[in-house]
């Protein structure tokens, strides 16, 4: 290709790129080297810029890549979920060129795992009230505070962190966004055992943690705007993932219905039919949302998808337990362990029922998401906010 020649990236061109990559002789048996080569070839996330794992192609063409490379080494989307779904789009949107080149490749290959340091004991749904402080000291920031409900912190190398850098301005305006080194002195991770018996989550204590200013994402005081990119991508990652027709939790319940005729009743049948329709509507809405994503960053519509996902998962897991009667009250394994991801389909109905309770909390509570949908999607009047212009230091806590 001569200099200045532009090649349109379409379905055919992407298939040719994938075929050329496979023909280049990269050994799938050497997983890490294979994934690094795939990133360098622009076949990691094709909608990212060239040189950063992409080709600057339309987002929907990623599906073509996944089809062509389906039999090659894949990502661990469980343990890598926060890095892939939240950290990466935020780094792309707000990171410097140096930060993008430093973090994106090992993030995508799984060499470096990421976690999220947002929620605090006193700042969950109202995240902007968070109190973790970052005080500037020359070219460094000294961070002190506590974070909670941190998935995967026990094996994370890096974290996306929001901290307060100015207590004299209203809560949304005094925040700054950082990349936190989880191996830095002063970072302590403690497990939080859940109702399922596992400890996916952790509480993280930050005591005198020093972060270089080169680990700041975005401008000082602009952390709330940066965090919105993370949160909108998080909700899409949780609620908008592709699901085949009849897949996911509704598929599990439907299979029980088909294979266990002795469990059937008229009432259970009617409930299953209603939930099947709801699941199909949610699936199609998710497909439409992913099409909208091809035109840019996710918007508040992702909150609606996550809201629907939580409600549907809880209803289906409850029906699954109820359908099985006494059998559904059993529990497969209450052993305490530090799990890497949520295994909805490799565990029993009791686990699914209990774990689904967290779906309406994690990634934004359903109450907060209803407000977002009402105000930003439907255009309804905002709730009164008496603390909007009050300096954070004067807020009751």
Beta bridge partners of 117: 161
Query: Cβ of 140: how many Cβ atoms within 10 Å?
Result: 16
Q: Which of 112, 198, 203, 234 is catalytic?
A: 234
In the annotation, is 203 catalytic?
no
The two tokens of residue 186 are 């002063």
* Residue 26: DSSP 8-state: -
Distance CA 177, CA 162 (A): 5
Rg of the chain (C-alpha set):
22
Task: Name the nearest CA neighbour of 360 among 253, 248, 243, 238.
Answer: 238
8 A C-beta contact, residue 125 and residue 168: no
Strand ranges for the chain from DSSP E = 114-117, 133-137, 140-147, 158-164, 175-181, 187-192, 201-212, 216-217
8 A C-beta contact, residue 120 and residue 383: no
* Residue 358: DSSP 8-state: G
Beta bridge partners of 191: 202
* Residue 47: DSSP 8-state: T
8 A C-beta contact, residue 201 and residue 192: yes
Task: Name the nearest CA neighbour of 150 among 202, 187, 107.
Answer: 202
Distance CA 204, CA 188 (A): 6
If DSSP codes are grouped into helix, strand and coil, which group holds residue 208? strand
8 A C-beta contact, residue 229 and residue 223: no
For 247-294, the DSSP string reads: -HHHHHHHHHHHH-GGG--HHHHHHHHHHHHHHHHHHHHHHHHHHHHT
8 A C-beta contact, residue 203 and residue 146: yes
For the annotated catalytic residues, the residue numbers are 234
């Amino acid at each position: 290709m001569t200099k200045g020649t532009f090649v349109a990236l379409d379905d055919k061109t992407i298939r040719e790129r994938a075929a050329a990559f496979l023909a280049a002789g990269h050994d799938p048996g050497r997983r890490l080297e294979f994934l690094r080569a795939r990133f360098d070839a622009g076949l990691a996330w094709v909608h990212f810029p060239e040189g950063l794992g992409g080709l600057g192609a339309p987002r929907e063409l990623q599906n073509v890549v996944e089809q062509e490379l389906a039999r090659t080494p894949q990502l661990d989307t469980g343990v890598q979920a926060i890095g892939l779904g939240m950290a990466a789009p935020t780094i792309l949107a707000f990171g410097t060129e140096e930060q993008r080149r430093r973090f994106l490749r090992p993030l995508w290959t799984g060499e470096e795992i990421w976690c999220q340091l947002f929620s605090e004991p006193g700042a969950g749904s109202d995240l902007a009230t968070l109190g973790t402080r970052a005080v500037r000291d020359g070219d460094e920031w000294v961070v002190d505070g506590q974070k909670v409900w941190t998935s995967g912190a026990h094996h994370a190398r890096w974290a996306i962190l929001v901290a307060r850098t100015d207590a004299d301005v209203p809560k949304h305006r005094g925040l700054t966004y950082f990349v936190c080194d989880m191996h830095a002195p002063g970072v302590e991770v403690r497990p939080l055992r859940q109702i399922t018996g596992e400890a996916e989550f952790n509480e993280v204590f930050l005591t005198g943690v020093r972060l270089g200013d080169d680990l700041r994402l975005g401008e000082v005081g602009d952390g709330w705007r940066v965090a919105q990119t993370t949160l909108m991508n998080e909700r899409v990652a949780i609620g908008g993932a592709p699901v085949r027709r009849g897949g996911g939790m509704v598929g599990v319940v439907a299979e029980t219905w088909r294979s266990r005729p002795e469990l059937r009743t008229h009432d259970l049948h009617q409930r299953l039919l209603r939930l099947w329709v709801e699941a199909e509507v949610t699936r199609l809405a998710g497909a439409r949302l992913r099409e909208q994503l091809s035109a840019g960053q996710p918007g508040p519509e992702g909150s609606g998808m996550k809201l629907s996902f939580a409600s549907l998962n809880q209803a289906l897991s409850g029906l699954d337990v109820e359908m099985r009667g006494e059998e559904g009250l059993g529990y497969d394994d209450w052993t305490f362990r530090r799990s890497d991801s949520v295994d909805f389909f490799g565990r029993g109905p009791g686990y699914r029922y209990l774990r689904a309770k967290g779906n309406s909390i994690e990634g934004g509570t359903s109450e907060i998401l209803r407000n977002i949908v009402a105000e930003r999607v439907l255009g309804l009047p905002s709730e009164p906010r008496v603390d909007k212009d009050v300096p954070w230091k004067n807020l009751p806590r």
